Amino acid sequence: MPADSRIILTGASGLVGKALTVRLEQEGYQVVPIKWRDAAPANFDVRQLEGATAVIHLAGEKIAQRWTPSARERILGSRKEGTIALAETLAKLEHKPRCFISMSGLNRYGSSRHELLDENSPVKIEGFLSEVAEAWENATAAAESAGIRTIHLRTGMVLAASGGALKAMLPAFRLGLGGPLGPGTQRLSWIRLGDLVDLIIWVLAHESCRGPLNAVAPQVVTQAGFARALGHALRRPAILPLPAWLISLLFGALGRETILADLAASPARALEGGFKFKTPGLAEALPLALGE
């Protein structure tokens, strides 16, 4: 571990940020959280960034809300403008961080693709989340141009009972009222929270890792398969479907681009680099995720 083991972290209070902070501190790193407010970094001393081991950027306006025009502006702005400000600040430092890890999402590939996607697959603008992912990744350009090793974590659905999509699903499934969402045939790429944290720490140590990285488990499932596996893990039936028209009515574009999206991604670069998933399959991941 480097003598200066400071990790600068945005989004430290979020689902991933909390779990990552615990693991980083267990590994002997000093975690320095940066507050994020009004689409820009706030209340931090630039001197904290000098000589840091890495900057991990997780912050952004929450996606799971009604996409009104003002919400879209906040979601995009918090990722684009804030990341530009952070990247430009890093580029000007005398002692730059060794790497800059910035979150992104699988929607960088679009919202519906037939092929299995790896990091060499062409990207596609297809909907609002694709625009957000493109802007978020492009916003790191100043850091990359300054020679900072930059990684874009294209993350699938993060499984943890303490937050995110799984937390939202649990009440219905625990009552035996869960089931496939939409047609059930759309493919879903996911990652357990613990494996995502492990992957981020792995990236810190692997100097050859840069550019896009699919942060997903090796096993792709369908929505129907996910519902069956969750029902089995909870020992509850999971046969009540939520039709696509109702999802669209209830959640609008958000539902169409998330719940009804059909994206199957492979963590090709992580596997080629030797990363080992503790829970590569859903059957072993869900019981652990239900405790996270």
Instruction: Report CA torsion sign: 141, 142, 147, 152.
Output: negative
Q: Is the pLDDT of residue 3 over 50?
A: no
Whether 141 maps to a domain, the answer reads yes
The residue segments making up the domain with residue 193 are 6-221+255-289
Q: What are the pLDDT digits (tens) for 176-210?
A: 999 999 999 999 999 999 999 999 999 999 999 99
Q: How confident is the model at residue 246 (pLDDT cuts 50, 70, 90)?
A: confident
Whether 197 maps to a domain, the answer reads yes
Q: Is the pLDDT of residue 155 over 70?
A: yes
Whether 103 maps to a domain, the answer reads yes
pTM: 0.94
Whether 275 maps to a domain, the answer reads yes
Whether 233 maps to a domain, the answer reads no
- Contact of 155 with 103, CB cutoff 8 Å: yes
Whether 235 maps to a domain, the answer reads no
The residues pairing with 6 across neighbouring beta strands, listed in sequence order, are 30
Burial of 5 (0-12, 13-18, 19+ CB in 10 A): middle
How far is it, in rounded angstroms, from Cα 281 to Cα 287?
11
Cα 66 off chain centre by: 20
Q: What are the pLDDT digits (tens) for 6-53?
A: 999 999 999 999 999 999 999 999 999 987 665 455 555 678 899 999
Q: Is the pLDDT of residue 4 over 90?
A: no
* Average model confidence (pLDDT) across the chain: 92
Q: How confident is the model at residue 82 (pLDDT cuts 50, 70, 90)?
A: confident
Structurally, how many domains does the chain consist of?
Answer: 1
Angle between helices 128-138 and 244-257 (to 10 degrees): 20
Residue % of the chain over a pLDDT of 90:
83
- The lowest-confidence range among 11-25, 77-91, 114-128, 267-281 is 77-91
Burial of 49 (0-12, 13-18, 19+ CB in 10 A): buried
Q: What is the pLDDT of residue 282?
A: 96
Whether 167 maps to a domain, the answer reads yes
Whether 91 maps to a domain, the answer reads yes
CATH of the domain at 280: 3.40.50.720
